[in-house]
Amino acid sequence: MSEKYCNLSDILPNTPFGEGDTPIGEVLRLLRDNKWNIQAAIEVEYKIPSGSDRMSEIARAIQYCRHELV
């Protein structure tokens, strides 16, 4: 049986996670509220800002997701 997952990223090119037009919070709440057995994978597809690194951006995206689910 294959795993079900959805990739989370902002649709606008080179837009930091959570700052674009993609309704990431709504998607996360749909997964949670409907108890869908679907994993959400964070995609970092933008240029990492100076003074940051990929792991820091992933940590920021996780915090964003947690905040959206409160």
User: Which stretch of DSSP H or E encloses residue 42?
Assistant: strand 39-42
Q: What is the domain partition of the chain in residue ranges?
A: 5-68
- pLDDT value of residue 37: 94
Between CA 66 and CA 21 the distance in angstroms is: 18
CA distance 26 to 35: 14
Cα separation, 53 vs 47, whole angstroms: 10
Question: Which amino acid, one-letter code, is at 24?
Answer: I
Q: Give me the pLDDT at residue 60, please.
A: 96
Please list the pLDDT of the chain residue by residue as tens digits (70 residues).
Answer: 577 999 999 888 889 999 999 999 999 999 999 999 999 999 998 999 999 999 999 999 999 999 999 9
